[in-house]
Structure 1
Amino acid sequence: MYVTDEQALSAPAAGTEAAVRELRDRTEIIDALYRFGLGQDLKDRELFASAFAADAELDFGPAAAKWGGKPPLLAGRDTIVTTILGMFAGRVDTTHQVTNPRVAVDGDTARLTALVEAQHLLTTGHATFALLKNPYDVDLIRDGDRWVIRHLRIDNAWYTGDPAAIFAG
């Protein structure tokens, strides 16, 4: 489930070319998650969409279950983008901070685990908020020179505040 390898790079230390290639991949893999977070925060449809493969899936169910929520599995880049940005546009201000990224690359697929702190505040009054610390489990695929999310599973370590700041009602 989570990337628990004992070291960051698999390329041999003496293999400069392989190490550079692996470092580029790792940077692009983590950038997919940065595009996911910043795309939401800026309400930037193109940036947010650039994080996902066309057939991507986003599973927020494990996190929402912590407070009794049951969101559907979102399938397909267009559905994910339209649903998430539509849910927040004009209603919720967000910030996402990504920490502790761990990456495992296997050819044209990769796995990323990270912690994401996600702040959600109602635009009409920041006193209603939800602050979450979420472990992310991400499967990615290579898309040319960049990487995109194929499957994103969001769990929750803890939260404070009111989940209505995320989901209306």
Structure 2
Amino acid sequence: MYGIDEHAVSARADDGDAVVRELRDRVEILDALHRFALGQDLKDAALFASAFAADAELDFRPAASRWGGRPPVMAGRDTIVTTILASFTGRIDTTHQVTNARIAIDGDTARLTALVEAQHLLTADHGTFALLKNPYDVELVRDGERWLIRRMRIANTWYTGDPATIFGA
């Protein structure tokens, strides 16, 4: 589930072209998660949508179960974008920070694990908030020169604040 390899780059150091290709892939893979995060923070539907494959799935159930939430698995890029942005725009201000990324590439598929700290505040009252520390487990597919999220599972390590008010119970 989580990336625990003992090294970052698998290409042989004496094969410069392979190292450059792998490093480019790794940057593009991480960029998919950054597009996901910043697209939400800016409420930018095009940027947010650019992170996902058309048949993407987003599973927030493991995180939400920590505070009694029972969201459905979101299926399809358009559903994910519409559902999340519609529930946040004009109501919730967000900031996301991505760290501890680990990547495993297997041809045209990849696995990314990362920790994401997500701050959510009611737009009308920043005193009502939920700060979440979430491990992400992400499966990606190659799309030309970029990578897209096919499946994302979001768990929760800890939170503070009132996530039930932000996300619903």
TM over 0.5: yes
Hey, what's the Cα distance between the residues in 1 that align with 2:46 and 2:35?
Answer: 10
C-alpha separation in 2, matches of 1:159 and 1:73: 21
Match of 2:89 in 1: 89
Letter in structure 2 aligned against 1:28: E
- d(CA) in 2 for partners of 1:133 and 1:11? 32
Structure 1, residues 79-111: CA drift from partner, whole Å, max 9, x if none? 000000000010000000000000000000000
What is the alpha-carbon distance in structure 2 between the residues aligned to residue 33 and residue 127 of structure 1?
Answer: 28
Question: In structure 2, what is the Cα distance between the partners aligned to 1:71 and 1:81?
Answer: 15
CA shift for structure 1 position 165: 4.5
Identity of aligned residues (%): 75
Please report how far the alpha carbon of residue 163 of structure 1 lies from its aligned counterpart in structure 2 after TM superposition: 1.0
Letter in structure 1 aligned against 2:101: P
CA distance in 2, matches of 1:93, 1:12: 44
| Map of 2:110 onto structure 1 | 110
Gaps of 5+ in 1: none
Listed as ranges, the matches of 1:59-70 within 5 Å are 59-70=59-70
Structure 1 stretches of 4+ moved >3 Å? none
Q: CA RMSD in A?
A: 0.8
* SS of corresponding position for 1:126: strand
Structure 1-normalised TM-score?
Answer: 0.98
Q: Is the 8 A contact 2:39 2:48 kept in 1?
A: yes
After superposition, the C-alpha distances for 1:13-65 in whole angstroms (9 at most, x for unaligned) are 11100000000000000000000000000000000000000000000000000
**Inter-partner Cα distance in structure 2 for 1:88 and 1:126:** 14
Native 8 Å contact 2:9 2:19 kept in 1: yes
**Cα deviation, residue 168, structure 1:** 4.5
Give the counterpart letter for 2:35 in structure 1: R
**Which residue in the other structure is 1:42 paired with?**
42
Aligned residues: 169
